[in-house]
Structure 1
Amino acid sequence: MVIMLVFSLAFSQNSNNIVFQGETYEMPENIETFQWNQLPQPARLDNGYVGWVQFYATPSQQVQDLFKQNNLQLLEYIPHRTYLFYFPENTSVGFLKNNGVRSIVPVNGNAKLSAALKSGDYNYWAMDGDNILVTLQYHKNVSDAYAIDQLAQQQIVVKQNYKEQKMLDLSIPNNCLETLSNLPFVKWVDLVVAPAVPDDSRGRSLHRANALDTQTGAGRNYTGEGIGVMVRDDGRVGPHIDFQGRITNLTNVSNQSHGDGVAGIMAGAGNLLPSNRGMAAGSDVYVVNYQSNFLDSSTVNLINDGSVQITNSSYSNGCNDGYTSITRTVDQQTLDTPTLLHVFSAGNSNGNNCGYGAGSQWGNITGGHKQGKNVIATANVYFDGSLVNSSSRGPAHDGRIKPDITANGQNQISTDENNTYQTFGGTSGAAPGIAGISAQLYQAYGDLNAGDLPPSALIKATLLNTANEAGNIGPDYKFGWGIVNALQAVKLIEDGRYLSDEVSQGITNTHTINVPAGTTQVRFMVYWSDVAASPGADPALVNDLDMLVTDPSSNVLEPWILDPTPDPITLNDPATNGPDHLNNVEQVLINDPAAGNYDIDISGFNVPMGPQEYYIVYEVISEHVVMTYPNGGEHFQPNIAETLHWDEVNTTDDFVLEYSSDNGSTWNNIATVPNDTHFYTWNVADEVGGNTLIRVTSGAFQDVSDETFNIARAPLTINVREVCEDTAYFEWNAIADAESYDFYLLGEKYMEVVGTSNTNSITIPITDPNDEMWFAVSAKNDTEGWESERSRAKFYGGGILDCTIGISENAFDNALSVYPNPATNEVYISLSDKTFNNFDITIANSLGQILERKTNVDNASRATINVSNYSSGIYFVTIKAGESISTKKLVVQ
């Protein structure tokens, strides 16, 4: 009963008293008799006053703007109808009374101290000998020099100064808390954040990210190119060729592998092994050490200079910490840089009782930063979409929906140091999946909007609204809004199914959206990046918008809501419908909607810090079943297990799976699986070809892979046999029925084709025999239309290898002349050894492509080659006479 009473008070909008961190503060109706000299000395600051001001009703936008015009600062919103304020000393009380003010009181020093600090039960990490380590926030009107000077007078040591954020880390005596909290410039004091703990313990197809990065000419190729992603983790990432040319390590910490695993899932290119490709394989990766307060210079600078748009932090700091100063920081960073998206792991603490009041299976999201309103916290599932038991569950401390979304993190294969791979898991692996997909969506948006970056609010809304249903119908406290579906998300961006507007206190905007006939399901979602709340606020929602949807028959539909009452049965109940006054996201979902116009009403139910910008995104689903993997261009190998995935909406029959090896002319049965299953592990048919399709059927509904995919064996053994001054020779095992092979070398960022051979060997030109080489091969049959996956890349450390030049070869080589070299126009080639009647000339570029041939050149004359149309670079001239052959390097300027 006591717990229920606390929640009743916390969520009540009727009481004039303030409930802050579980304590009640009286707000007397004193405006009729109030005088500024009634405020105590701790309320005086910089020729003005700080305190709490309460209105009879949430002030209109006109009143809010009027206060700003008169330099009356409403600094932070304190539920309910109450603000932390700074007013100049000449402020007219009559003006306040005439504009709806009910009460003015000083801030009780006790309300400036976090609950953890007041508890007196401090862990080792919060102690500095006999002193306490705390983080202090001071008012924006105050300089850091003034704050430090005032603290010095109290014999308080400053450990760290975050001057841009108006924060200080301090070492304080235990007996000075009351004195500290009553200093006028002090806004909030909390224990320093808990030590960081990493949240570790076949994502691309489950996430549908494969459809965004098909690596084919016809499909989507969103790799996150041009988008900066940040790995905030345990030190340096790599060395690993999966990040070739795209990584900047800004840390000297080495011999740690957690960050390597995070980075590979988020942005690995699969250069070493194609099947281990990550989500955003073209993004620019920045690696910094994890700092729990998010104010380290590396993080702040890379965000502020536009290098980084998306951060990933797979670390915990405490458990269910509520809305802390760190939570405020990450929310505020998103407001200051609207294109910034923070992505976090939800934690692996399910089974821990973190004080929510419902036992060990609820309310154990780790760390205050994850409770942010404008960030993403990610839950963890296996590759089949089943929830990992350790994945932390919501609600947030104030009852909001957390986690936000779910991704595969368990048993991922990801990068490790020194060009190896590791098995990686936990929500640590789920979060970078979301971060990488977000980078793909950022690129997609930029491609459609002249290179502009999207607001992170739009990307988050898109991810939430298009997620696949998981767990209970609607949102829940285990999966959030469901399992990420990158394909549906990018389609929403491509189709432009979104709009933005702003709303103020008491105002309602109406938007009309047409739903076409044949729609299976429609989802309307409103989302807004909410104003950062005051640390300790409960609830943390500041600007409260409401959404109602009116269908063509004038039925009014309300959004999903969950009951946050701290009871394990209630928290596991499915979502119902009603007004939501906790979350900054609301969704109305309609199955089998009638065609016609739908009115979306967005109301400013309580907007104390307006106006508030918002985004409406809408998902219009017309297919009942959609094949998502394989969906075209993939490379499977015979008899190797692959997991097939499909999406479904409103089906009841079991799913029948079939494959075709002749582009749909005939079909072969794979399996029949229950209707509640959306994946199947298929032992790929022992049929080589490039015209393979998968078909999924549920009753009258059916879908087929959009394009054909390949089934073929890849070369397994590839070796370098000879390295000479200008050439290198490679061999590999032959593949049955292969007509040719593409040979790859590691380029600036990716493995690149540098030559093609009709046999199981190749000689390629090289520029320096001492250079390292990563090489690989794929097999092809153009007649039958198939191509294998590229083999695992293999490394050669450089140096001459088994290259023996006999006397005759040396003599032949010395008899050749290629001049001038470097050249700009014409090049002359002659052979002084007159024992040969003629010779042949072949000119190739650095990729091994043949540009020009001359045969049977008379040895009595010299050959002339015009290179004026050649691009600047290095070329290779091969001369053959009889059985003798030599290759010369040619530089064209």
Structure 2
Amino acid sequence: MKKTTIFSFQSICFLALTLVFSMSFAQNSTDIKFQGETIVMPENITSFQWSQMPESARLNNGYVGWVQFYETPTQNVQDLFEQNNLELLEYIPHKTYLFYFPENTSISFLRANGVRTIVPVDGKAKLSYQLKNPPYEHWAMDGDNILVTLQYHKNVSNNYVINQLAQQQIIVKEDHKEYQTLDLSIPNNCLETISNLSFVKWVDLVVAPAVKDDTKGRSLHRANNLDTQTGAGRNYTGEGIGVMVRDDGRVGPHIDFQGRLTNLTAVSNQSHGDGVGGIMAGAGNLVPQYRGMAAGTDVYVVNYVSDFLDTPTLTLINDGSVQITNSSYSNGCNAGYTSITETVDQQTLDIPTLLHVFSAGNSNNNNCGYGAGNQWGNITGGHKQGKNVIATANVFYDGSLVNSSSRGPAHDGRIKPDIAANGQNQISTNENNTYQTFGGTSGAAPGIAGISAQLYQAYGNINGGDFPPSALIKATLLNTANEAGNIGPDYKFGWGIVNALQAVKLIEDGRYLSDQVSQGNTNNHTINVPAGTTQVRFMVYWSDPAASPGADPALVNDLDLLVTDPSNNVLEPWILDPTPNPVTLDNPATTGPDHLNNVEQVLINAPAAGNYDIDITGFNVPFGPQEYFVVYELISENVVMTYPNGGEHFQPFVAETIHWDEVNTTEDFVLEYSTDNGSSWTNIATVPNDTHFYNWTTANEITGNALIRVTSGAFQDVSDETFNIARTTNSYNIVEVCPSSATFEWIAVDGAESYDFYLLGEKYMEVVGTTNTNSITIPITNPDDEMWYAISAKNDSEGWEGERTRAKFYAGGILDCQLGVSENSMENAVALYPNPATSEVFISISDKTFSNFDVTIVNSLGQVLERKTNVDNASSTSLNVSNYSSGIYFITIKAGESTTTKKLVVQ
């Protein structure tokens, strides 16, 4: 990639440096580490006077700078500062804040309340690491100018800032006044001058160009258990929840989003967003097996904009239309805590029900500067390093990690990615009612976003339709994830592979609580663990205040979790060692105090029954009080069958993947199936104890009473309900369309007593008729309307039902209908020959009152294969079908206001 070496700290005015920057290995306890540099903080409060502050620190009859306390101020001191209009704007690690104080602020008041140091912010501390380390990539250059993002303080007006920048010949490219952010094109000799302007909070290079993170999820994710599509099971489709596809342009057209899709972009002919949208929210209307996670959500589609400040995104999250966003894009690698990270974290704080879900990236094998080589620290994009967002790793359908999936830690050692999901080799939607093979972390992230929508609906059903805090949903996902990789969290899988079934049970059972804690205080909660519990997990999670860009570590409010068991043993949470060493980073988690992450978990195997004390301490809470959530997972079963688990529709002698969960088993798993509701069992296989799936070729039998049983030693589980093994018809067509009815025929299925006939409704394929023959005639209101149709076979006597067929398309128009003389004129006027055809088909209209006509040929999937317009009616036209597959096609001829459709058979 081309780099441009243009940089100079020579500026039109020079301002003296105030702080001492040192790369010394020694660091005093009061020094600040900021962007890899050590900043010495002098103890100056006894002699400090406001007159010592330079002009560059004056702002609106006050001063901006850094204030350091001897100890993190208590909540009383924090409240006292607020009451006196002393603004602690952002937390800089180590008892230090960015402040704005009025010019008449009493020094003695500050001294009496624990202030140790007051210094102005040097301009260098406002410049990102990337800005201070040229040369710059080509995308950050605008001719000889540098493209930067500037943040300014909230207590200055947008007009004032723009006017001041204009005096420096600064060009404003984008203005996001709601977030006090400007994208600028600046002369290369003005960086130092700009950074020393008092209203400037932070300056960074514009974000790197966006890169798409693309390269059998429902059962691996256990999302099938939340959306069983049966009357007795759970039916969480995400209905009433708004999800956003922030991607490469329009999604669809595709009937899998029927009635639920709002495109707010004009960009077309792109397929990445289609793949993302289908995994997250496709309904499987076209092909039932390709149903996504949350098939009932309202889907909003906007273009991906890297700063998350675009108008469509802000409008939809602010007005409550959207609760969950998905962005499967990279912007750079191991970018640290940037202004964009600050934005996404702050948006979650401003809108507590908002959840941002991101792909972790496909940049493993890239060295992104963490210091441990090319297998670590390569999470892509600053937004993914956020504390209050979810970054998703990518696994195969069997739960193994895809090698390209980006790995943590985050820049400051925090656990990233947060969680893992299946993204590789997913079948998802594409444009024009087709499907595509989709992969990468681009496919993993929408799996998490869709499951989150299902959990939002589950919470709302219990809580009067309210949306849940996203902090609760994220905590639930992390605490219930299936163990993967090393025991405990790790830098490859995060907290494990998502388990939607366990997550929704936690929500349904109300196994969570919330409270708030202030600096230095401790809250105690008591949770009873019943006898027979195999494993218990206690987790505390909080949405942390946005950090200052460049902060290291990025954690602001630091809470500590301790668990005391009934025998008074004190248990500490998991911790990882973030030392930039390949061996260290791959070590399993140990336990101890965690001062990096805003999530902590204590896991106990075979816990004793009784009361457990959960202590949450405000170890360091510079911005309090801090709300937190405690979620707890009580696992009582060692083995749980998850797929198939009841109501599924399999076909005989077809490969299906069986899934089960296990905790604390040691013996191999024995798999068996029954076709008679458990009266007898047939062996499938025996697999090793570290395996949790098996590819089974289904029995070559027809039954509605099938079950799967999994056994490990003394532990066993069986599918909750029976599932189906049955055939589907392989030939079904529309044979006649008249003004008020349509007739369909199909090849009978052996053993079927009746058939359900489906048409596409407002959102889903719906049963509109049932027949005990292999044909059906249904009433219609307009013969010119398009129709999508499908069939399923069933036998009520034997209790089985086959899977619905793939939906077929009819473009509309009278078809092979015996009409009256006046009605039949257009039908009789059109000649289509030869039919059947092998190479060329001729079309002509004998009625010469029409000067021209249009021709459209469509296949049974609804795809337009060819279109001719304004064909001269003086001569016939022809269509070359020599490259078409054998089958049935529909040719629609429109002349004036008259339309007819004819069936064409290609041999």
Q: Match of 1:348, SS?
A: coil
Are the counterparts in 2 of residues 544 and 604 from structure 1 also a CA contact under 8 Å? yes
Shift of 1:807: 8.2
Q: 1:108 to 1:784 in 2, by over 3 A?
A: same
Amino acid across the alignment from 2:396? Y
- CA shift digits 1:599-649 (9 cap, x unpaired): 000000000011100000000000000000000000000011000000000
Are the counterparts in 2 of residues 339 and 455 from structure 1 also a CA contact under 8 Å? yes
- CA shift digits 1:297-354 (9 cap, x unpaired): 0000000000000000000000000000000000000000000000000000000000
Q: Match of 1:119, SS?
A: coil
Select 2:470's aligned residue among 447, 456, 474: 456
Are 1:784 and 2:786 counterparts? no
Aligned to 1:754: 768
Please list, as runs of the form range in 1=range in 2, the aligned pairs for 1:647-666 lying within 5 A after superposition. Answer: 647-666=661-680
Select 1:66's aligned residue among 72, 80, 83: 80
Amino acid across the alignment from 1:785? G
Amino acid across the alignment from 2:381? G
Bigger mean CA deviation after superposition, 714-723 or 247-256: 714-723
Aligned to 1:112: 126
- CA shift digits 1:732-783 (9 cap, x unpaired): 1110000000000000000000000101100000000000000000000000
Aligned to 1:584: 598
Aligned to 1:304: 318
Are the counterparts in 1 of residues 393 and 444 from structure 2 also a CA contact under 8 Å? yes
Aligned to 2:499: 485
- CA shift digits 1:377-410 (9 cap, x unpaired): 0000000000000000000000000000000000
Amino acid across the alignment from 2:50? W
Question: Structure 2 CA distance, aligned partners of 1:482 and 1:42?
Answer: 49
Question: Structure 1 CA distance, aligned partners of 2:635 and 2:78?
Answer: 41
Are 1:386 and 2:396 counterparts? no
Q: 1:272 to 1:125 in 2, by over 3 A?
A: same
Amino acid across the alignment from 1:87? F
Aligned to 1:794: 808
Please list, as runs of the form range in 1=range in 2, the aligned pairs for 1:489-568 lying within 5 A after superposition. Answer: 489-568=503-582
Amino acid across the alignment from 2:335? D
Question: Structure 2 CA distance, aligned partners of 1:101 and 1:201?
Answer: 53
Question: Structure 1 CA distance, aligned partners of 2:414 and 2:33?
Answer: 17
Question: Structure 2 CA distance, aligned partners of 1:79 and 1:260?
Answer: 42
Are the counterparts in 2 of residues 7 and 565 from structure 1 also a CA contact under 8 Å? no
Are the counterparts in 1 of residues 460 and 468 from structure 2 also a CA contact under 8 Å? yes
Select 1:152's aligned residue among 135, 153, 166: 166
Select 1:213's aligned residue among 224, 227, 233: 227
Aligned to 1:693: 707
Select 2:657's aligned residue among 608, 631, 643: 643
Shift of 1:809: 13
Are 1:51 and 2:65 counterparts? yes
Are the counterparts in 2 of residues 348 and 390 from structure 1 also a CA contact under 8 Å? yes
Aligned to 2:107: 93
Question: Structure 1 CA distance, aligned partners of 2:480 and 2:204?
Answer: 38
Aligned to 1:618: 632
Question: Structure 2 CA distance, aligned partners of 1:771 and 1:716?
Answer: 25
Are 1:476 and 2:490 counterparts? yes
- CA shift digits 1:495-525 (9 cap, x unpaired): 0000000000000000000000000000000
Question: Structure 1 CA distance, aligned partners of 2:408 and 2:201?
Answer: 29
Select 2:237's aligned residue among 223, 245, 254: 223
Amino acid across the alignment from 1:329? T
Question: Structure 1 CA distance, aligned partners of 2:163 and 2:29?
Answer: 40
Please list, as runs of the form range in 1=range in 2, the aligned pairs for 1:303-322 lying within 5 A after superposition. Answer: 303-322=317-336
Runs of 4+ aligned residues of structure 1 deviating over 4 Å after TM superposition are 5-9, 806-810
Question: Structure 2 CA distance, aligned partners of 1:759 and 1:426?
Answer: 46
Amino acid across the alignment from 1:27? M
- CA shift digits 1:645-686 (9 cap, x unpaired): 000000000000000111111111011000000000000001
Are the counterparts in 1 of residues 23 and 38 from structure 2 also a CA contact under 8 Å? no
Amino acid across the alignment from 2:80? L
Aligned to 2:293: 279
Q: Match of 1:477, SS?
A: coil
Ranges in structure 1 where 5+ consecutive residues have no aligned partner: 811-893
Are 1:292 and 2:292 counterparts? no
Question: Structure 1 CA distance, aligned partners of 2:727 and 2:270?
Answer: 36
Question: Structure 2 CA distance, aligned partners of 1:622 and 1:383?
Answer: 26
Aligned to 1:851: none
Select 2:619's aligned residue among 589, 605, 612: 605
Are the counterparts in 1 of residues 364 and 375 from structure 2 also a CA contact under 8 Å? yes
Aligned to 2:152: 138
Question: Structure 2 CA distance, aligned partners of 1:695 and 1:723?
Answer: 48
Aligned to 1:436: 450
Are 1:769 and 2:783 counterparts? yes
Aligned to 1:363: 377
Aligned to 2:742: 728
Q: Match of 1:339, SS?
A: coil
Q: Match of 1:115, SS?
A: coil
Identity in percent: 83
Shift of 1:26: 1.6
Are 1:200 and 2:214 counterparts? yes
Shift of 1:225: 0.1
Are the counterparts in 1 of residues 24 and 38 from structure 2 also a CA contact under 8 Å? no
CA RMSD of aligned residues (A): 1.3
Question: Structure 1 CA distance, aligned partners of 2:194 and 2:823?
Answer: 87
Aligned to 2:188: 174
Question: Structure 1 CA distance, aligned partners of 2:135 and 2:469?
Answer: 41
- CA shift digits 1:175-206 (9 cap, x unpaired): 11110000000000000000000000000000
Shift of 1:805: 3.6
Q: Match of 1:118, SS?
A: coil
Question: Structure 1 CA distance, aligned partners of 2:525 and 2:786?
Answer: 60
Amino acid across the alignment from 1:529? S
Question: Structure 2 CA distance, aligned partners of 1:503 and 1:454?
Answer: 20
Are the counterparts in 2 of residues 654 and 673 from structure 1 also a CA contact under 8 Å? yes
Select 2:360's aligned residue among 342, 346, 350: 346
Amino acid across the alignment from 1:603? T
Aligned to 1:830: none
Q: 1:45 to 1:650 in 2, by over 3 A?
A: same
Are the counterparts in 1 of residues 23 and 37 from structure 2 also a CA contact under 8 Å? no
Question: Structure 1 CA distance, aligned partners of 2:773 and 2:281?
Answer: 35
Are 1:704 and 2:704 counterparts? no
Q: Match of 2:136, SS?
A: coil
Ranges in structure 2 where 5+ consecutive residues have no aligned partner: 1-21, 825-907
Question: Structure 1 CA distance, aligned partners of 2:819 and 2:338?
Answer: 73
Aligned to 2:461: 447
Are the counterparts in 2 of residues 240 and 418 from structure 1 also a CA contact under 8 Å? yes
Amino acid across the alignment from 2:173? K
Question: Structure 2 CA distance, aligned partners of 1:53 and 1:809?
Answer: 87
Amino acid across the alignment from 2:322? V
Are the counterparts in 2 of residues 211 and 487 from structure 1 also a CA contact under 8 Å? yes
Q: Match of 1:150, SS?
A: helix
Are 1:247 and 2:261 counterparts? yes
Please list, as runs of the form range in 1=range in 2, the aligned pairs for 1:853-868 lying within 5 A after superposition. Answer: none
Amino acid across the alignment from 2:232? A
Q: Match of 2:314, SS?
A: helix
Shift of 1:120: 1.5
Question: Structure 2 CA distance, aligned partners of 1:85 and 1:746?
Answer: 60
Select 2:686's aligned residue among 668, 672, 681: 672
Q: Match of 2:420, SS?
A: strand
- CA shift digits 1:475-503 (9 cap, x unpaired): 00000000000000000000000000000
Select 2:35's aligned residue among 10, 15, 21: 21
Shift of 1:8: 8.5
Question: Structure 1 CA distance, aligned partners of 2:323 and 2:23?
Answer: 39
Structure 2 length-normalised TM: 0.88
Question: Structure 1 CA distance, aligned partners of 2:56 and 2:402?
Answer: 51
